[in-house]
A and B are shown apart, each in its own frame.
Chain A
């Protein structure tokens, strides 16, 4: 069974940092691109970052560029999102989502999400 499990969320002050983790199991992690998608309370989905299966390519939404860093370790079946200079508007549930091999622009498996709250 494909599983993606996020961890590392919590309450952080504005300007602070947090590192999210996504642990993968049940599939060959090293073959898949992975994304981070977030959802502010009561709002819609917002894609924020992508990393290719070899880590050679990364993309970021303008809203997080130069503040967030995506990385992965295929030997550990793990993905991370380093979040720096956090703002109130970064408060959201953060999901990791796997690219589909059949359709690489589709996200075919999602984690359960982890809540990040930025507040003083």
Chain B
């Protein structure tokens, strides 16, 4: 089955840029989504199809995807961005959605 790999945690200072990676075999050929989950809340879609943003999501959130790594970029990080971030793809070979293990973004 397809596996997505994320670092467990990522730290960034306020105002700086966080680039959170998501690794997968030839993930560049797949459509990648990113979800933000704050403590005690349901996940929220922040990036879909590698780099598109749903309405209401700040432009500070962006994504890219190439080769074996997709990246969620959070620019000008704020304290309110502290959350778990999950990447996700649809694996058409198994007809399963797959989530990465999640990355906890710590704002120092």
B residues near A (Cβ < 8 Å) are: 1, 31, 33, 35, 37, 42-45, 48-49, 52, 54, 84, 86, 88-90, 95-102
Contacts and interface: CB of A to CB of B under 8 A. Distances in A.
A106 B33 contact: yes
Nearest to B98: A47
Nearest to A107: B45
Interface string A35-49: 101000000111100
A80 B86 CA distance: 25
Chain B binding surface SS class: strand
B96 A61 contact: yes
Contacts of A105: 31, 33, 89-90, 97
Interface string A63-96: 0000000000000000000000000000000010
Contacts of A102: 48-49, 52
Interface residues of A, number: 23
14 contacts: A44-B84, A44-B100, A45-B35, A47-B88, A50-B95, A95-B43, A106-B33, A106-B48, A106-B88, A110-B42, A110-B43, A111-B42, A112-B42, A113-B42
Contacts of B97: 35, 37, 47, 50, 105, 107
Contacts of B84: 44
A59 B45 contact: no
